[in-house]
């Protein structure tokens, strides 16, 4: 029986600018075909943003020769996490050779995308909020609203970076929120959400292996183009020109895209810390940290 090779296939927008004159500038999409086990990139293909989904199938067909060289005689199973990609692959290879899986199975693909975008693009390997399909525009709008309120409350003036705060999970039966404020030192403002108390201690010890989500505020002009265009299109709230919210998950020392669950937990953390700051203000504290 031939060995089976599972290849993750997806398409995503990039922050790679093509063209110099404003009227001619655009940001292409990229298709990556990545080995699910090893993370090896068999093929990458740049697409025009308006290219149809059939271009994804064509990119996968172009990857076949490389897959065959690396895995002689193996059966190729194409793995998709979005319906439109699965349909494009099935049109080329048939339903039997196309599997649909959740985003949790796409870690190797996400890592390949992050590495490419950080190396070639003007971004930091950050995908558009709605791209993964496990979050709604309303939920991202709630994140931006909570982030804007948090930014205006200035919790870094009252809560030190070294303090670990715990609040109940926003999801019934979920893990509690373990978080700390960023900004008391005046360098970078935002918050950190920890997977565990051990991860908080690792970060305090400057251990890069901590599993955390950073939610920071960046100048709008420096936000990745993919995010900036998405926020403008949906009209999401931004507190100021210096307060574009950007999320980044670190897992085992490597940056990976945030999940929808991460985004919902960060929204709850923004709200909880803003409420805590309101308590400080209402208690009459008039001597903030800075």
With bands split at pLDDT 50, 70 and 90, how would you rate the model's confidence at 285?
low
Q: Which fold has domain 4-120?
A: Nucleotidyltransferase; domain 5 (3.30.420)
Question: In this structure, are residues 49 and 55 in contact, taking their beta carbons and an 8 Å threshold?
Answer: no
Tens-digit pLDDT profile for residues 192-236: 999 999 999 998 888 888 999 999 999 999 888 888 889 999 999
Region of residue 99 (left: phi > 0; alpha: psi -120 to 50; beta: else): beta
Mean pLDDT of the chain: 87
Tens-digit pLDDT profile for residues 73-120: 889 999 998 889 999 999 999 998 999 887 777 888 988 888 887 777
**pLDDT reading at 265 higher than 90:** yes
The CA distance from 227 to 132, in Å, is 13
Residue 164: the pLDDT is 93
Tell me the average pLDDT across 242-254.
89
- The pairing of beta strand 75-80 with beta strand 4-13: parallel
Question: Which regions of the chain carry the CATH code 3.30.420.230?
Answer: 4-120
Tell me the average pLDDT across 8-24.
80
Q: Is the pTM of this model over 0.85?
A: no
Tens-digit pLDDT profile for residues 43-73: 999 998 889 989 999 999 999 989 989 888 8
């Amino acid at each position: 029986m031939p060995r089976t090779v599972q290849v993750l296939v997806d398409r995503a927008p990039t922050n790679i600018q093509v063209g110099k004159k404003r009227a001619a500038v655009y940001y292409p999409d990229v298709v990556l075909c990545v080995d699910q086990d090893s993370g090896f990139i068999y093929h990458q293909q740049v697409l025009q943003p308006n290219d149809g989904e059939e271009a994804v199938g064509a990119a996968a067909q172009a990857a076949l020769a490389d897959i065959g060289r690396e895995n002689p005689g193996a059966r190729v199973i194409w793995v998709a996490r979005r319906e439109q990609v699965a349909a494009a692959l099935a049109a080329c290879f048939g339903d039997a050779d196309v599997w649909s899986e959740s985003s949790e199975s796409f870690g190797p693909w996400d890592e390949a995308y992050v590495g490419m975008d950080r190396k070639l693009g003007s971004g930091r390997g950050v995908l558009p909020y709605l791209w993964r399909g496990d979050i709604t525009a309303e939920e991202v709008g709630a994140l931006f609203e909570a982030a804007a309120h948090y930014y205006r409350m200035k919790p870094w003036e009252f809560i030190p970076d070294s303090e670990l705060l715990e609040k109940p999970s926003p999801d019934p039966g979920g893990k509690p929120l373990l978080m700390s404020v960023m900004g008391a030192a005046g360098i970078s403002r935002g918050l950190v959400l920890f997977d565990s108390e051990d991860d908080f201690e690792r970060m305090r010890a400057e251990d890069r292996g901590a599993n955390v989500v950073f939610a920071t505020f960046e100048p709008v002009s420096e936000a990745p183009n993919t995010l900036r265009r998405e926020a403008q299109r949906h009209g999401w709230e931004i507190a100021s020109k210096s307060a574009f919210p950007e999320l980044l998950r670190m897992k085992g020392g490597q940056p990976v895209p945030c999940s929808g669950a991460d985004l919902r937990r960060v929204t709850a953390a923004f709200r909880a810390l803003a409420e805590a700051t309101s308590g400080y203000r209402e208690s009459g504290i008039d001597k903030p940290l800075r």
